[in-house]
Chains A and B, each alone.
Chain A
Amino acid sequence: MNRIAIEKKVLNENQILAEQLRERYRQNGVLCVNLISSPGSGKTALLERTLERMDKSERVAVLTGDLQTENDARRLAKFGFPVRQITTGGTCHLDAKMIGRHLEDWRLENLGLEDLDLLIVENVGNLVCPSSYDLGEDAKIVLLSTTEGEDKPLKYPSIFFKSELMLLTKIDLLPYVPFSADLARENARRIHPGMEIIDVSSTTGEGLDRWMEWLKARQEKVRASLQSAVD
């Protein structure tokens, strides 16, 4: 009997594709963010408010994932930016191959990465599986809403550990729900010390300026690193 050392990632194929996507985003100066949360935490509502606030000249596109229906793409298409629905047909997460395929479809419609500054990926509503699949994104962003439990970060540590930013959504409902925002933040930072957290409400607009500024700052960073690579 012979033992061969392998030392490669189980999701090696996905990882290779994700790295290729990451390189393409970098070369084109595109910021790609991957939004992850439980179903119903307000990913689509947040994106509606985000797109609404963007100038029509902004070069932004959205890929939105669900098991079934084109509902989210319809909701988001209203704002005039390119939106594609990825229906996974049962798979509980998006993978790099799906992203690549949809970018290719866009290319056939004459929309390439060189035409974009920001690509927002709305993952399938699920806190477990999306944490394992790298999509080549610059940052994972996790949403936790005030109608969930404050202990979600402790129950699903992987995604809170891997996300750079947590958006505490539906913050306008705080007076009506038995939810301690302090405890939720404390739990998130126990998993991920120093994690950035922004409180937002897609209903009242609270915190949306800070969220838009966060996106802008990240875009600046991507642009600056592209510029320094050119220089």
Chain B
Amino acid sequence: MVFMHELGIATSILESVQKEAERHPGAHISKVGVKIGELSGVDRDALQFGFEVLVKDTELDPLVLELEFIPRMQRCSKCAYEFRMTDFDPRCPLCGDLATECISGEELDIAYMEVDE
């Protein structure tokens, strides 16, 4: 079940690269960089594996998928301190306030592609 999910994500990444490739005729895309947030619900190993299986059947092979993990960061609404949320504790480590908001970690974004022209 989980794997099927990552396979869908891998397919979407490949489709995006294919679209980009059409805009650069003759160019060779060697790498695609994707940001995976801690809260994205995507397993990086499963995505990497699914992508490697799928890319073999395309003209983009041997395209490399580079994943960047984005941790869940919180910002304190009171003192503006930004911190990495660990052990699901939203409390501000500086002032102890509970009203902190999530500022990153939901990413599931294509960040860049590397092209050999």
Contact = CB atoms under 8 A, between A and B. Distances in A.
Interface of A: 1-14, 90-93, 126, 128-129, 131-132, 154, 156-159, 161-162, 187, 190-191, 193
Given A132-B42, A154-B88, A9 B109 contact: yes
A125 B2 CA distance: 13
B39 A4 contact: no
Contacts of A162: 39
B112 A4 contact: yes
A125 to B, nearest CB: 10
A93 B5 CA distance: 8
A3 B34 CA distance: 13
A7 B4 contact: no
A10 B4 contact: no
A94 to B, nearest CB: 12
Contact of B41 (A13, A159, A190): A159
Nearest to B47: A10
Contacts of A131: 41
A128 B6 CA distance: 10
B55 interface: no
Contacts of B106: 161
Given A2-B117, A157-B88, A7 B1 contact: no
Top 5 nearest A-B pairs by Cβ distance? A158-B41, A129-B5, A190-B88, A131-B41, A6-B110
B115 A2 contact: yes
Contacts of B111: 5-7
Majority SS of interface residues in chain B?
Answer: mixed
B63 to A, nearest CB: 14
B22 interface: no
A157 B1 CA distance: 17
Contacts of A4: 20, 112-115
B50 interface: no
Contact of B108 (A10, A157, A159, A187): A10
Contacts of B16: 6, 8, 10, 12
A14 to B, nearest CB: 8
Contact of A10 (B1, B98, B110, B115): B110
B73 interface: no
Nearest to A11: B12
A158 B39 contact: yes
Interface in B20-57: 20, 30, 34, 38-42
A1 B4 contact: no
Given A10-B16, A157-B38, A190-B88, 15 more contacts: A2-B116, A3-B114, A3-B115, A6-B16, A6-B20, A7-B109, A10-B108, A12-B110, A13-B12, A14-B12, A128-B2, A128-B5, A129-B41, A131-B41, A193-B90
Nearest to A5: B112
A2 B108 contact: no
A132 B108 contact: yes
A1 B41 contact: no
Nearest to A90: B4
19 contacts: A1-B115, A2-B116, A3-B113, A3-B115, A8-B16, A9-B110, A10-B109, A10-B110, A12-B110, A92-B5, A126-B1, A129-B5, A129-B41, A157-B38, A158-B39, A161-B102, A162-B39, A190-B88, A191-B88
